[in-house]
Amino acid sequence: MPEIVEPTKSYLSVHYELRSAKQVERRMLIDALHTLGEDGFRISDYQYTGMGSIYFVDFVLFHKLLNITDMRSVEYDVEIRRRVRFNKPFTFVKIFINDVADVIPKLSVRKRHLLWMDYDSFLSEKTAIDIVLACSRLTPGSILLVTVDVEPPIRNGNPQKWKEYFDEEVGHYVPPDESFAKSNLPRVNIDVISNVISSATAPRGVEFFPLFSFLYRDGHQMLTMGGMFVAEDEKKRMLESRVLKASYIRTDFGAKPCEIKVPTLTRKERIFLEGSMPCADGWRPRGFELDEDDVRAYREIYRFFPVYAELFL
């Protein structure tokens, strides 16, 4: 029996606030949403549906920075239902102790949605169905984000075993000739999710406009994909939006994803670097060792880099 890795109950083991790569991702998403807001998409009127778990970091940020007030958090782990309710960050957040698959079909067709299925598990038959449901339900203008764990889905496995896993779970959507080498697993996930989205969206009169394809790791390597369902009108506005200029945007899931790398820096180094940003390609600080890759990585993320101090609010 191959050993399928148990989904991590990450919310119980990791302080969500302290995952810096994830935080950079959230800040980039907010940056993009903010720009979309300026370019004619009324993001503050969107309904946010997310999986806030017990920390609700995404909820806090989306409310405070984007002024979204119509929010619902879905949690299917009944064992933490009271913790979830207890930690609800604002009065207007509605809590659903339910599977996201049961909430999606009931999302209003009169609203625009921001739906983030922020799984801590691997892509599976179940998550693929959730994505299909979202693509079947969300109105044009709505934004879908999906996060999955892209580590090998079977511990002590090998490419053959991983292939079997994907064939069994989402065989339909796996492109022929896909390599299941460990280094290619993020690509396998991207291709599958992209196929799920396009096949589920095709029968509707809307298109999916890709915007995000992030890879990052705080512990496990994670992938977030996202974009907007667009009809002609939204597509036109999207093509004119300045959001497309942002370096983290990916309008083609075939492209290399945006890898979020958070270099380890001391506070003093960070302050120094910040004063030199944005820097030219190939620039390196003279006063201490830091290779070009790290500088480049820092240049990509410094605007979104969370600052942690002892104080924890």
Partner 1 sequence: MKQLANAHPRKRFFLEMFTRDLSLEDCVLDLIDNSVDALHRTRHLDLSPPLLAELEIPKQAAKAKLPSIEVVYTDLEFRITDNCGGIEREDALNEVFSFGHSAGFKGGQLGVYGIGLKRALFKIGKHFRVESKTTGGGFVAELDVDTWAKADEKPEDWTIPLEFIPGVNADAAAGTSIFITRLTDEVKMRIKDKTLEAALHTAIGTTYAVFMDRCVRIRVNGKDVRPMEIPVGESAAVTPGHKNISFENGKVEIKLIATLAARIRGEWSSERAGWYVLCNNRVVLAADKSELTGWNSGMPKFHSKYNGFIGLAFFQSESPGLLPWTTTKRGVNGDSVVFREARVQMLLVARGIISFLNEMYPSDLYEQPQQREIADAIAPSEIRSFATKPSSDFTFARRVSALKPTVRVQFDAKRSDVERIRRHLRKSAWGASRIAESTFNYFLENECPK
Ligand X SMILES: C[S@@+](CC[C@H](N)C(=O)[O-])C[C@H]1O[C@@H](n2cnc3c(N)ncnc32)[C@H](O)[C@@H]1O
Instruction: State the residues that interact with partner 1 by CB under 8 A.
Output: 78-79, 99, 101-102, 104-106, 125-126, 129, 132-133, 136-137, 172, 199-200, 202-204
3-state secondary structure of 126: helix
Which partner in partner 1, ligand X, none is near 38 (CB below 5 to 8 A by kind)? none
CB of 125 to partner 1, least distance (A): 6
CB of 255 to partner 1, least distance (A): 27
User: Is 226 a residue that touches ligand X (CB under 6 A)?
Assistant: no
CB-nearer residue toward ligand X: 53 or 241:
53
Region near ligand X per CB under 6 A, out of 51-59, 182-190, 263-271, 283-291: 51-59
Structural element, H or E, at residue 211: strand 207-217
User: Is 100 a residue that touches ligand X (CB under 6 A)?
Assistant: yes
Among 14, 37, 65, 76, contact with ligand X (rule: CB under 6 A): 76
3-state secondary structure of 4: strand
CB of 302 to partner 1, least distance (A): 38
CB-nearer residue toward ligand X: 120 or 294:
120
Please list, in sequence order, all residues whose beta carbon lies within 8 angstroms of the beta carbon of residue 174, skipping any fewer than 6 positions away.
Answer: 166, 167, 188, 191, 192, 195
- Rounded to whole angstroms, the Cα distance separating 116 from 73 reads 10
Burial of 10 (0-12, 13-18, 19+ CB in 10 A): buried
Please list, in sequence order, all residues whose beta carbon lies within 8 angstroms of the beta carbon of residue 190, skipping any fewer than 6 positions away.
Answer: 213, 223, 225, 253, 257
- Phi first, then psi, for residue 206 (nearest 5°) are -125, 165
Structural element, H or E, at residue 197: helix 185-201
CB-nearer residue toward ligand X: 75 or 300:
75
**Within 13 Å and on the Cβ side, how many CA atoms surround 307?**
10
- Phi first, then psi, for residue 304 (nearest 5°) are -115, 5
CB-nearer residue toward partner 1: 7 or 105:
105
Which partner in partner 1, ligand X, none is near 105 (CB below 5 to 8 A by kind)? partner 1
Which partner in partner 1, ligand X, none is near 204 (CB below 5 to 8 A by kind)? partner 1
CB of 181 to partner 1, least distance (A): 27
Which partner in partner 1, ligand X, none is near 136 (CB below 5 to 8 A by kind)? partner 1
**Strand 143-149 with 113-122, pairing:** parallel
CB of 195 to partner 1, least distance (A): 11
User: Is 283 a residue that touches ligand X (CB under 6 A)?
Assistant: no
CB of 238 to ligand X, least distance (A): 24
The string of DSSP letters for 233-298 reads: HHHHHHHH-GGGGSTT--S-TTSPPEEE------HHHHHHHHTTPSPPTT---SSS---HHHHHHH
User: Is 10 a residue that touches ligand X (CB under 6 A)?
Assistant: yes
The string of DSSP letters for 181-194 reads: -GGGHHHHHHHHHH
User: Is 49 a residue that touches ligand X (CB under 6 A)?
Assistant: no
Interacting residue ranges for ligand X, rule: CB under 6 A: 10-11, 16, 50-53, 55, 57-58, 74-77, 99-100, 118-120
